Amino acid sequence: MEKTVEKTLVIQRYNPEQDQRPSQQRYQVPFDNSTSVLDALLYIQQSLDPSLAFRWSCRMAICGSCSVMVNGIPKLGCKTFLREYSGDLLLEPLAHFATEKDLVSDMTLFLQHLQAVKPYLIRQEQSAATTPATKPQPHKQTPKQLAKYRKFSSCINCGLCYAACPQFGLNPEFLGPAALTLAQRYNLDNRDQGKAERMPQLNGKNGVWGCTFVGFCSDVCPKHLDPAAAVNQGKVASATDFVIGLFKP
Amino acid sequence: MNQPKRSDEPIWWALFSAGGVCFAVVIPGLLLTIALLYPLGVLPENALNYQQVQQWLLQDWWGLAGLALAGAAICLPLFHAMHRIHHGLHDLKLSSGLLGKILCYSSASLFSALALYFWWQGLG
Amino acid sequence: MSEQHSPRRPYLAPLTASWWLKHRYYRFYMLREATVLPLLFFCGCLIAGFYSLQQGEQSWLNWLSFMAQPWVMALNALTFAASLFHAKTFFELFPRVMPLLPAPLMIAGQWLGTIAVAALLLLLLGGVL
């Protein structure tokens, strides 16, 4: 048997029913090469302190629930391993969001911003209900057309990019990296016809123009989909839309 | 749903981008030659003599080289710089209002106009 | 509304003006943005240069000796470093904003532009052209 090695996790605690402000609590957690931050949190909850609150679900970096700040950097708990850190780990809830309890953040703003850009395929054509004579046709897409937006399509809505974005921290009205990336993803999709509905959101000061290309969002994105590039490509699209707008009544 | 007001940022962003290209492509060579190597005496003594520079910037080609230099090394970089300062003030929580924006872009406009005025006077 | 009885009391940590000091990445961003401060100084020098050029030869000579003052040269050396740092960051951002060609090609092309301008000025002022 391997000797048990322990690591110290310093976790920000906040109980809205008792605490005025968050405080920190230390836990000793045994770990090996395969212990993730999420595993450590589950160990604490099951063996040391059942009152610790945090979100999690899939344990394989696809649900985007277990986002936390590890030593000040936004991370997915399931994709971050204790072995990567030489000293203690400081775990805090996502920056720039309000904390509900312990490591659980209030993601309402994030979801509202996602909703604002209509991140789904929009078709202008009549639906099958209005013209029952014509059967709905599948929307075809070539590999080349797929490649145009594919790199922006793997967002898991984990919110790490918002915790990395100082512009969202400074101005919570800023639509933020993930929402603007999704807007760009659908605007680039040849099956979509909703660009005209999305552009007004992008054109505002809280749309693409709230971004100053800090670029940290792309660094922390667990799916490497370069949100900073998507947002700034959105600036080109918005600037083009601006020029077109000058010539339209 | 209420639609947000269209931002005028595309204008400032376009000027910022053009100025950024000038800052990256034109300014390093200019600094290297006239601000570092010439004062150090590496370039010939008469490289920047009055008649020569007058002719390059204000006489040949109706002074278009001078206009291009003023545009690429003064006006556009000024808009680039003041755009970053405008957003930097917001980043530092010093200003996010209209006043800072007006001050930043009007000073860039004023000093650009000044540079172009001196060029125009020189043509004279 | 039931909200009145809700035990919810979300806590939002205030973002202080010194947020950018807390992480290496943010400090790098602020350094990038700060490259425009020495640039403003050099723009001021050039405006003065245009002024003195139309004022006459003596004024032009005064400007040249101003440009040769040690503190001015020191500031311009700083501006030179800032311009190269800006160029590096700007050239790397460009292919992400406008992905026209493979990124390394676009970055190399832009550096070629910077080198070409510097070479042209060197040849012109060196008396070769």
Which pLDDT tens digit goes with each residue over B66-112? Answer: 999 999 999 999 999 999 999 999 999 997 678 999 999 999 999 99
Measured between CA atoms, how close is A206 to chain B, in angstroms? 8
Distance set, CA B19 to CA A18, A68, A238, B14, B80 (Å)? 54, 39, 19, 8, 5
Q: What is the pLDDT of residues C35-61, one digit of tens each?
A: 999 999 999 999 999 999 999 999 999
3-state secondary structure A77-115: HHHCEHHHCCCCEEEECCCCCCEEECCEECCHHHHHHHH
Place of tokens 């639906």: A127
User: What is the CATH class of A5-105?
Assistant: alpha beta
**How far is the alpha carbon of C114 from chain A, nearest alpha carbon, in Å?**
23
As a whole number of angstroms, the distance between CA B45 and CA C3 comes to: 80
Superfamily grouping for domain A108-126+139-247: Alpha-helical ferredoxin (1.10.1060.10)
Q: Which residues of B touch A (CB under 8 A)?
A: 1, 3-7, 9-11, 13-14, 87, 90-91, 93, 96
Instruction: Tell if the CB–CB gap between C29 and A97 is shorter than 8 Å.
Output: no
Which DSSP string do the residues of C26-59 spell out, in sequence order?
Answer: HHHHHHHHHTHHHHHHHHHHHHHHHHHHHH-HHH
Q: What is the pLDDT of residues A8-45, one digit of tens each?
A: 999 999 999 999 999 999 999 999 999 999 999 999 99
Return the DSSP state at C11: B
Interchain CB distance below 8 Å, C90 and B33: no
Q: Where are the domains of chain A?
A: 5-105, 108-126+139-247
In this prediction the pTM is 0.92
- ipTM for the predicted complex comes to 0.93
According to DSSP, the residues that pair with A73 across neighbouring strands are A70
Domain layout of chain B by residue ranges: 11-123
pLDDT at C3: 55
CB distance B31–C80 less than 8 Å? Answer: yes
Tokens of C63: 């400007």
Ordered structural domains, chain C, with CATH: 20-125 (1.20.1300.10)
**Torsion (CA) C72, C73, C76, C77 in degrees, nearest 10:** -150
The pair of structure tokens assigned to A172 is 């919570």
Domain at B11-123, CATH from 1.10.260.40, 2.40.50.140, 1.20.1300.10, 1.10.3720.10: 1.20.1300.10
